[in-house]
Structure 1
């Protein structure tokens, strides 16, 4: 009887141990399964992140190559012009009459100015995109700035036979803005309008108070922008199908500056029917 009891206890112990082993094994398998699932999702996340990083690197590399190509192209043209005219001036200085000599010098100076503008705008855009240039916000009398900017373009507009005017109400509130950067925005937008206008066209710069903002508008009756080009006008080096001089960086700078100010901006245009550019600046509060 004693032996039977010992055997029964031993069998019970073995059964309990076996049950514990199976239970623990089940838990272990469950844990392994959970760990496996977590590892799967972790690996998938890491791979997805790596794919994104690789794509971003590829995009950056593509952008870098495009930037180098565009800069090289824009530098090559004025440099070739400068080199050609300087060589002519040096080699044939005794053969050139004063009229041709002066003409060659003026052409060289114009090419040098193109290089200066390109380098300045590249440097400025680089500082804006890298956030190196921070906003210096202060009260700005936007009406005075508009009048001053319009005056600075009067000679150029008159020479082209373009009517350029400002339509500003007498009492326009001051705005919060970076004066130097908004001056650059107005210079670029008005300059673009004049560039794409011809004799008999009109450029009107206006501003009105609208809720808690001042809405500034530059409207012209120039050649306008083709519909398929509108999505690309703020891209670096985009010059459109209408061949005009310029670096193609002006509106990229405008976009960066206005976004830094939290401005709402838009451009409306129809080919051969002019362009209207509007943007907002917050009223001084």
Structure 2
């Protein structure tokens, strides 16, 4: 048994609703579901590929995280243990949004009569986030102007052709290609995977900026939402819609009983009520319509 860490889940946290969201989300591609409450995925820890397992304890309200390694002697010395534990903790807190204070969120959203019934239907549903902005942008750009099924197929082919790989417990895991490997790929090879000529150029631009450190978390520290949006929009192929979709996206006209698409200023005026918690407002609207994000 490899070293694992255990975190207490914040309240509220609905394991069933959150994992159900993951199963239908565009984020699901690298995840493997093992039973009802356990998932694994390949991710990079300190620059190396690693298979990480997240196991939710019900009842108990705890999350157990461990790196699933190949059989054999434990790699690394004793000094590696604390560093690995810290990396796993940071990953889990980020991916499962454990630092989000949903009580404050619900207090803010609950003042909107549009949202109050959705809070009851989606109680405890947490945002699931990518490990880094690079992956989020790849997912968003691949999904532009194609069907959900086509986008998922292209993501799977991209991962199969260029992604990191590992075998654990006789199961093959694959993750998104690291930026350096993607940069060594020709546009023609990306088009063979299913990307258009333009999208091939866009994903190479994203990889180039990630390799240069422009997409690191530190590069966005201290920026307002609008400043971060402006920085993302500098990337070819990333407009405001794509920049915002990294957090959340989706139509709301059916909930508003509108047959037409509301104009952008009307939608933004609606979201102004949710300042500080717009991602959750959009997520819950989306789930109420049965739309995957």
Q: Which structure has the bigger radius of gyration?
A: 1
Q: As a proportion of its length, which structure holds more helix?
A: 1
User: What is the TM-score of this pair, normalised by structure 2?
Assistant: 0.23
User: What is the TM-score of this pair, normalised by structure 1?
Assistant: 0.23
The higher relative CO (CA closer than 8 Å, separation ≥ 6) is in: 2
